[in-house]
Amino acid sequence: MTVLAVCGVLLGTLVAAVAARASPFALDTAVHGWVLDHRPAWARQLATVVTDTGSGTPAYALAALAGALAQRTAYWRGALAGVLALASAQLPRMGLASALARPRPPSADWAAQAGGWSMPSGHTTTSMVVALLLTLAVHRRAHGRVRAILLAVPAIWATTVGLTRIYLGMHWPTDVAAGWLLAACWAASATLLVLLWRRRADHALSMERQYT
């Protein structure tokens, strides 16, 4: 509950600040300008490869894999749950993006193709949600020292995907920050719903045992 409240306040504050402005923040333009001056061809190509893993088919494939690994039995159900979980995060993202209608940086600065509104970053939100699903799978499957290493991999990957959106010139830094905050809000909300459902199920089971 605390995590949800904190993330919600931070995201709400950022969204309100963006909605009240007609131009990007000074931080946004400063970072964007620095990126344009430090973007050799090989780095753009590498960033494009990384960024492509954070959305579309690769992201949903990873979500399905995470769901399957997190499920002890009936892997197909876990895979379906992973895909549905990722899809559920897209609804608030698209709604928020449409409501804000924040323009992207100038298209002349893009090093790859992009579409849609700027905030929150879709690749950033998607990859972080997938990373959270993968983290859950690793927590359930891995043991010992290898678990600590594997737990860091999804977070590093998702963070890198978010940074590539800035590096490729298709998002302002605050778009990426909003994507991370939205993913955190989604995770906190999902966790709260699961806990409430389990509490209700345990209560129902307790009542059933009491009257049998």
User: Which structural domain, as residue segments, surrounds residue 123?
Assistant: 2-18+39-210
Is 33 inside a domain boundary?
Answer: no
> Tokens 């895909």 belong to which residue?
83
Is 166 inside a domain boundary?
Answer: yes
Is 23 inside a domain boundary?
Answer: no
Q: Which residue has the higher pLDDT, 15 or 206?
A: 15
**Among 53-57, 67-71, 145-149, the range of highest mean pLDDT:** 53-57
Nearest to 118 by CA among 156, 173, 188: 173
Handedness of CA 121, 122, 127, 129 (dihedral sign): positive
Is 68 inside a domain boundary?
Answer: yes
pLDDT (0 to 100) of residue 75 = 85
In total, how many domains does the chain have? 1
Instruction: Please tell me the pTM assigned to this model.
Output: 0.90
Is 34 inside a domain boundary?
Answer: no
In degrees rounded to 5, what are phi and psi of residue 9?
Answer: -65, -45
Nearest to 117 by CA among 180, 53, 171, 182: 171
> pLDDT for 159-204, tens place per residue?
999 999 999 999 999 999 999 999 999 999 988 887 776 666 555 5
> pLDDT for 138-164, tens place per residue?
988 888 888 888 999 999 999 999 999
CA distances from 170 to 99, 115, 147 (A): 19, 9, 34
Indicate which CATH number applies to the domain containing 102: 1.20.144
